[in-house]
Structure 1
Amino acid sequence: MLRKLSILLLAASAWQAQAKVDSVQASRLGQDLTPLGGERAGNASGSIPAWDGGLATPPANYQPGMHHPDPYAADPVRYVVNAGNIEQYQDVLPEGIKTLLRTYPDYRLRVFPGHRSAAAPQRIYDATRFNALNAELIANGNGVSGVAAGVPFPLPQNGQEAIWNHIMRYRGDQIHMVTNQAAVLANGSYTLLKQERDVYFVYGREGVGPQDLDNTLFHYKYRVVAPSKLAGTALLVQETLDQVLAIRKAWRFNRGERRVRRMPLLAYDALQPDTNGMATADMVDSYNGAPDRYEWNLIGKREMLVPYNSYAVHQKGIPYEQILRTKTVNPDLLRYEPHRVWVVEATLRKGFSHPYAKRRFYLDEDSWQILVVDLYDKKGDLIGLQESHPISYYDAPMFNSTLEALYDFKGGRYMADGLDNNEPMYDFNANLGPRDFTPQALRREGN
């Protein structure tokens, strides 16, 4: 028995050790690689430029509290991809976007010059260098240890490391925001669901070290503001780092019952509340939570056409009905660019069920934001697509989606989340703390 235990421990140690990189590889960060692990140089054709620091400071016409002015508004459209010329761009399009173009002939990709705008604070870059030398996957890849604040695996060696980079990427310290989401049915009808949202990040905060995390990534809550029949309903989540060790805690306040109830499981394929049954819990932010139900394969890096610098759809005052068209988001407000992305494929393990038996993720090399997800059922049919339309929130600075879209090809419907054009802009200096994310606080705010 002792001999077997020793063998298991040795195997586990060997498996964990391969997560680290040596000092020679780590020294490339900030040199030929960006501080977060992307290739600093552009590509041979020049369609992907070199990374020069991204948008780390606001442009001159920005004032605090504004919806972020588009620094690339003067860029011309280089070309348009549609159902008629899709064959010409086969190699640079995710399968889900190809299906979107073929299914809805009026949809098109407006392709603009590429700009590598992703940026983060210097302390995140410094922490990422520390992580490269110290981060380890633990518990069969279901957790991460030895990390400080930045991206855990800037030089990923497998698919699990890459997906953890997305889960643990920098998204600010705390945020108060008011956004809308809509489940757009096949006939084009929808009801806007308006939410006040607060996020308090534990991982990534200035001064927080590995010993301070207590297996916590962040605290999150929202309160429904409209429509009136749902107003007051609220949700609270305490997001753990290793969700196999300690599953995320979630509570929901139901206005009708006027009670806070602990949710038994808000993870994996459980339906995300208030999404009209369209989104599973692990689809929020393109992917979240424990990776234990999938096998993860790092396919490699590719040059692709992906959503990027989506400032046009972010601008203040755009009526939501102008964004939410029947069948798709309005393509005339979206922007696609050529970028290098890491491709990661997740295949559902035997013994588990999920509507998506396979997912293919396309992760931005400069920020680790998932930009596109192809969604397949157990028969191998492509049945859905997720897109994150990101911008650089240069006042933070951080890079994140301003609008997320989930397309259900079988149902002919889609969901859009993050609509904030007619709401106050995000407050990255909100006065928030852990005490604001308790069941008692949820009860108070639900009233």
Structure 2
Amino acid sequence: MNRYVVALGSCLVMGVAVAAVPEDQAQRLGKDLTPLGAEKGGNSAGTIPPWAGGILQPPASYVEGKQHTDPFAQEQPLYEISAENLDTYSELLSQGHQYLLANYPGYKIKVFPSHRTASSPDYIYQRTRENATRAELISRGNGVTGAAAGVPFPIPGDGLEVIWNHILRYRGNSIRFTTNQAAVHRGGNYTLVRQAKEILFEYGQPEMTPEELGNKIFYYKYDVTSPAKLAGNALLVHETLDQILSLRSAWRYTAGQRRVRRLPVLAYDDISPDTDGMLTTDSVDMYNGAPNLYEWNLLGKREMLVPYNSYALHSDQLEYEQILQPKMVNPEYGRYELHRVWVVEGSLRDGLSHRYTKRRFYVDEDSWQILMVDLYNEEGELQYFQEGHPINYYEVPVVASTLEVLYNFDSERYFVDGLDNQESPYDFSFKTRSRNFSSSAMRRKGTK
């Protein structure tokens, strides 16, 4: 039987969590909890500081129209973790990081002082407060109602709510940017695929209401500009909120054929276009799409060493060949800090198929950005590991990954997306409309 039909049937027996919290709980937001629901206080050891609003304005060194300067450029690592001292720090590390340290000679984790830099526009805080008492899961957990703009479940009660917080977190209103991605072979060879991208986030618009939202989260498109053999190819996606009610719509333009083709399905473990067979569709942005293939379990909150404030990897002083090394992203430019994360485990439901039978997510409490994912194959073995290296794009402000990495431990290849060191910075002031994301607009562009 078609796996999408099986998945649709399985969603009918999933339980529904009523997620809206009482008013007395919502009143904690902005008090002992941050406006987005994190613990406002630091930890007892003083190694995680209190949240004091995050970055509220760009540092003096920032120049508009240039890449983001590092507010912590003068800091030195507190310590480094390698294979030799892995046992000392294993409780603070994901399974993926432990594997890299134990099996990849030269891999290390440089640990810096922790800074809770996450911040969002004031209207996101206000809308999150409104969502807290009205947002609920619908369609057996495959959709959300009663929410718009802000985080839907700032005081989550289960793992599925945490995942929805990531999917619907604030990412700006509309963006235009250019990035590069690469599938890096074991020996270090790779080809950069350069993509010009545009995104319009319907869900996060300042005036958006739950009643007006409908079933669209965002519109997304990219055009490949190099290498020559792929140049001109394009992808268009209309991302839906409830993908069981209505699957995402996607169109592919192939330059060699000069035609637009509607993709019948682009979901779950379908391979994402232009990723050399490495990245599943639902691994883009660390996780996206309908959650109905998995049983979701909230394992709690932990203090962990995670990629954070990754401005060094974002620097325009770096060439791509300095970042992309054989088997791994150059650990010299990684920055890791101690933060609290929600840990959520997704286990594949009986009778369904997916490349990943189990996924363990580590979700930043301050931004709801997924920072790391341990990925297990059909034999239940750890085979893949994802990292998202975030920064605060402080001119907005918004926290988002500047680089995402997927390691395949079997092949010792890895895939990177988001390389923009030698590109113009993200343009968050870009204005666009939904009509610019139509398949007809894509066809007109392809005939020029």
TM over 0.5: yes
CA distances 1:267-307 after superposition (whole Å, capped 9, x unpaired) = 00111000000011000000000000000000000000000
Which residue is equivalent to 1:306? 306
Q: Supply the distance in 2 between the matched residues of 1:111 and 1:189 (Cα, whole angstroms).
A: 29
Which residue is equivalent to 1:3? none
Which residue is equivalent to 2:178? 178
Partner of 2:190, secondary structure, is: coil
Does the 8 Å CA contact 1:178/1:424 hold for their aligned counterparts? yes
Displacement, 1:17?
6.6
CA distances 1:375-406 after superposition (whole Å, capped 9, x unpaired) = 00121100010000000000111000000000
Q: Supply the distance in 2 between the matched residues of 1:92 and 1:317 (Cα, whole angstroms).
A: 31
CA distances 1:379-438 after superposition (whole Å, capped 9, x unpaired) = 110001000000000011100000000000001100011000111100001131111101
Displacement, 1:215?
0.4
Which residue is equivalent to 2:152? 152
Does the 8 Å CA contact 2:269/2:355 hold for their aligned counterparts? yes
Does the 8 Å CA contact 1:130/1:148 hold for their aligned counterparts? no
Q: Supply the distance in 2 between the matched residues of 1:67 and 1:35 (Cα, whole angstroms).
A: 28
Which residue is equivalent to 2:9? none
Displacement, 1:106?
0.3
**Structure 2, unpaired ranges of 5+:** 1-11
Give yes or no for the alignment of 1:42 onto 2:15.
no
**Structure 1, unpaired ranges of 5+:** 1-11
Letter paired with 2:25: Q
Partner of 2:328, secondary structure, is: coil
Q: Which TM-score applies when normalising by structure 2?
A: 0.96
Q: Supply the distance in 2 between the matched residues of 1:445 and 1:57 (Cα, whole angstroms).
A: 39
Which residue is equivalent to 2:388? 388
Q: Supply the distance in 2 between the matched residues of 1:229 and 1:148 (Cα, whole angstroms).
A: 41
Letter paired with 2:314: H
Q: Supply the distance in 2 between the matched residues of 1:73 and 1:317 (Cα, whole angstroms).
A: 13
Which residue is equivalent to 1:81? 81
Displacement, 1:20?
1.2
Which residue is equivalent to 1:116? 116
Q: Which TM-score applies when normalising by structure 1?
A: 0.96
CA distances 1:127-183 after superposition (whole Å, capped 9, x unpaired) = 111111000000110000000210000011011100000000000000000000000
Which residue is equivalent to 2:241? 241
Which residue is equivalent to 2:418? 418
Q: Supply the distance in 2 between the matched residues of 1:444 and 1:206 (Cα, whole angstroms).
A: 31
Letter paired with 1:132: A
Percentage identity across paired residues of the two chains = 57
Partner of 2:48, secondary structure, is: coil
| Superposed counterparts of 1:291-440, under 5 Å | 291-440=291-440
Partner of 1:359, secondary structure, is: strand
Q: Supply the distance in 2 between the matched residues of 1:154 and 1:190 (Cα, whole angstroms).
A: 41
Partner of 1:87, secondary structure, is: helix
CA distances 1:107-128 after superposition (whole Å, capped 9, x unpaired) = 0000000000111001000111
Give yes or no for the alignment of 1:215 onto 2:215.
yes
Does the 8 Å CA contact 2:117/2:392 hold for their aligned counterparts? yes
Displacement, 1:16?
5.2
Q: Supply the distance in 1 between the matched residues of 2:345 and 2:48 (Cα, whole angstroms).
A: 24
Displacement, 1:213?
1.1
Does the 8 Å CA contact 1:156/1:162 hold for their aligned counterparts? yes
Q: Supply the distance in 1 between the matched residues of 2:291 and 2:17 (Cα, whole angstroms).
A: 19
Q: Supply the distance in 1 between the matched residues of 2:258 and 2:213 (Cα, whole angstroms).
A: 33
Letter paired with 2:392: S
Q: Supply the distance in 2 between the matched residues of 1:307 and 1:17 (Cα, whole angstroms).
A: 31
Does the 8 Å CA contact 1:234/1:253 hold for their aligned counterparts? yes
| Superposed counterparts of 1:41-120, under 5 Å | 41-120=41-120
After the TM superposition, list the runs of 4 or more consecutive aligned residues in structure 1 that deviate by more than 6 angstroms.
none
Q: CA RMSD in A?
A: 1.1
Q: Supply the distance in 1 between the matched residues of 2:187 and 2:127 (Cα, whole angstroms).
A: 49
CA distances 1:35-78 after superposition (whole Å, capped 9, x unpaired) = 00000000011110000000131112212211000001111100
Does the 8 Å CA contact 1:37/1:154 hold for their aligned counterparts? yes
Q: Supply the distance in 2 between the matched residues of 1:353 and 1:16 (Cα, whole angstroms).
A: 23
Q: Supply the distance in 1 between the matched residues of 2:300 and 2:220 (Cα, whole angstroms).
A: 33
CA distances 1:316-367 after superposition (whole Å, capped 9, x unpaired) = 1411000000000000011000000000000001121111000000000000
Does the 8 Å CA contact 2:17/2:141 hold for their aligned counterparts? no
Cα distance 1:78–1:213, how it changes in 2: closer, same or farther (>3 A)? same
Which residue is equivalent to 2:3? none
Q: Supply the distance in 2 between the matched residues of 1:237 and 1:55 (Cα, whole angstroms).
A: 32
Displacement, 1:443?
2.4
Which residue is equivalent to 2:205? 205
Letter paired with 2:36: L
